[in-house]
Amino acid sequence: MSNTPFPQSFLWGGAIAANQAEGAYLEGGKGLSIVDLLPTGAKRRSIMQGSVPSLTPLEGEFYPSHEAIGFYHRYREDIALFAEMGFKCLRVSIAWARIFPTGEEETPNEQGLRFYDDLFDELLKHGIEPIVTLAHFDVPVNLIEKYGSWRHRKLVGLFERYAKTVLERYKSKVKYWMTFNEINMLLHLPFLGAGLTFEEGDNVEQIKYQAAHHQLVASALAVKACHEIAPGAMIGCMLAAGSFYPFTCNPEDVYQGMEKDRESYFFIDVQSRGEYPGYAKRFFRDHNLAIAMEDGDADLLRGHTVDYIGFSYYSSRTTSTDPEVNKKMTSGNVFGSVANPYLAKSEWGWTVDPLGMRITANQLHDRYQKPLFVVENGFGAHDEVRPDGSIDDGYRIDYLKRHVAAMGEAIEDGVNILGYTCWGPIDIVSASSGEMRKRYGYIYVDRDNEGRGTGDRLKKKSFDWYKNVIATNGAEL
């Protein structure tokens, strides 16, 4: 195909996560997991931040992940639709609690393992490459209750066992793996990202960075296991990306922008370069944080760095040191961004910045010099179904078109990008709000915020648009 910056091998597809799509939250022997405790409504945000009222679902609350979109039962039908669009790959996550329901069993749950065997077989039957995240906002609740989740070193070994189990089982089917989804989310929504809960008087920073260390060691162990068990496969990390812009050229703003970016880069610096960066050590010193590390941790981190950098990009972020400017924060953005007067916003307050995709990809390339994989990008919007069943989501096509074009520019700039999996190619439960109303899909799911609806799947206008993008390898947007 002429006039396309995308290489022939480019992996076009979509991305979903077990907890937002599968439902069947207690079927097949599955144990409870983080997202099973997140209701819709006003309390969701504080629970995601770590104020967790109960480690069992409460009467009277609605938990959208319990049924989600029923992908657990309907995946064949959904995959057939992805195949119709020409998907080359589908990013999914394995629910840890389907494989080890309490996280601590001696032997894995065969029913859970079989489900993913069937899922991967179905994908491969259609020529769709599975891209698998080991942990997408996912910790068995028993481990939260017993150990306080990732704050405890115990989780490292339990995660390693889980990772080895699935790597061994699926090594002939899966060539692309990722360790922790949006690992930097741990700092912003610590319960969602890492199952951390807090009580009055806790040293929250200390707990978060200790948990981060444990995840980083666990990630290195998963990389090690992948390289040993499935030598032909690639395993990456996953960053919630979107570079910070200084609000002005005041050096104070510029410096703060750099610091904000480093809050996120910190994780990837360790996962990709193999050691704690100097600025992180200084941060720990300045904040009196004492991170417990075991002998051998430094060698593990150094010896087992990731093969590629997966990242999500929805929007850029903006930061200011001016208290007046800081009065205008964007809503719905967990990264604490001030409003950027040059950019439009979605209904949920997420800014739209296609050029930011090119900037972010170039910066990640310059920093790590490793292949990148855009594993999430998309436009959350409310869609209207017309009486004839059609859905005109031109606004989504517009967003995606501009972002894919920006990604193409980054490739022309010399950035090596393995593929693009847009978020939620079929509507799924929103992670941040728990709503169904915030939709990303090319495929509409008839289900509302309260869980009502037939569950039927309908093609939106964007369905044919994306199909053509893939068919022309990005030449026609």
State the nearest-atom distance from the C-beta of 380 to ligand BG6, in Å: 4
129 lies in the binding site for ligand BG6 (CB under 6 A): no
269 lies in the binding site for ligand BG6 (CB under 6 A): no
Given the structure tokens 């648009």, which residue do they identify? 465
The answer to whether the beta carbons of residues 380 and 435 sit under 8 Å apart is no
Q: Cβ closer to ligand BG6: 18 or 32?
A: 18
Catalytic pick among 376, 384, 409, 450:
376
Q: Cβ closer to ligand BG6: 103 or 380?
A: 380
State the nearest-atom distance from the C-beta of 185 to ligand BG6, in Å: 7
Tokens of 309: 């950098």
330 lies in the binding site for ligand BG6 (CB under 6 A): no
Catalytic pick among 22, 122, 182, 435:
182
Cα 276 to Cα 181, 214, 265, 293, 410: the distances in Å are: 20, 13, 11, 12, 28
Strands 11-15 and 89-93, by their bridges, are parallel
Q: Cβ closer to ligand BG6: 316 or 433?
A: 433
181 lies in the binding site for ligand BG6 (CB under 6 A): yes
Strand runs (DSSP E) across 218-371, as ranges? 234-241, 244-246, 308-313, 317-319
351 lies in the binding site for ligand BG6 (CB under 6 A): no
How far apart CA 269 and CA 262 sit, in angstroms, is 9
182 lies in the binding site for ligand BG6 (CB under 6 A): yes
Tokens of 377: 């990008």
Q: What are the helix and strand counts (H, E) for the chain?
A: 16, 12
Q: Cβ closer to ligand BG6: 421 or 433?
A: 433
State the nearest-atom distance from the C-beta of 424 to ligand BG6, in Å: 7
Binding map of ligand BG6 across residues 375-404, x = CB under 6 A, - = no contact: -x---x------------------------
How far apart CA 37 and CA 27 sit, in angstroms, is 16
Q: Cβ closer to ligand BG6: 108 or 193?
A: 193
B/e letters for 350-366, b = 16+ CB within 10 Å, e = fewer, are: bbbbbebbbbbbbebbe
In one letter, which amino acid is 451?
A: G
Which DSSP string do the residues of 195-252 spell out, in sequence order? -----TT--HHHHHHHHHHHHHHHHHHHHHHHHHH-TT-EEEEEEEE-PEEESSS-HH
Stretch that binds ligand BG6, among 3-11, 351-359, 430-438, 447-455 (CB under 6 A): 430-438
State the nearest-atom distance from the C-beta of 323 to ligand BG6, in Å: 28
State the nearest-atom distance from the C-beta of 259 to ligand BG6, in Å: 22
The answer to whether the beta carbons of residues 149 and 50 sit under 8 Å apart is no
Which of 346, 430, 449, 473 touches ligand BG6 (CB under 6 A)? 430
- Is position 376 annotated as part of the catalytic site? yes
- Is position 205 annotated as part of the catalytic site? no
Provide φ and ψ at 285, rounded to 5°.
-60, -50
- The residues in 20-79 that bind ligand BG6, with binding defined as CB under 6 A, are 20
The answer to whether the beta carbons of residues 194 and 186 sit under 8 Å apart is yes
Q: Cβ closer to ligand BG6: 36 or 376?
A: 376
How far apart CA 90 and CA 376 sit, in angstroms, is 11
In one letter, which amino acid is 181?
A: N
Stretch that binds ligand BG6, among 55-63, 99-107, 140-148, 425-433 (CB under 6 A): 425-433
Q: Cβ closer to ligand BG6: 289 or 381?
A: 381
Binding-residue total with ligand BG6 (CB under 6 A): 14
Catalytic residues: 182, 376
Tell me which residues touch ligand BG6 (CB under 6 A): 17, 20, 181-182, 240, 312, 376, 380, 423, 430-433, 438
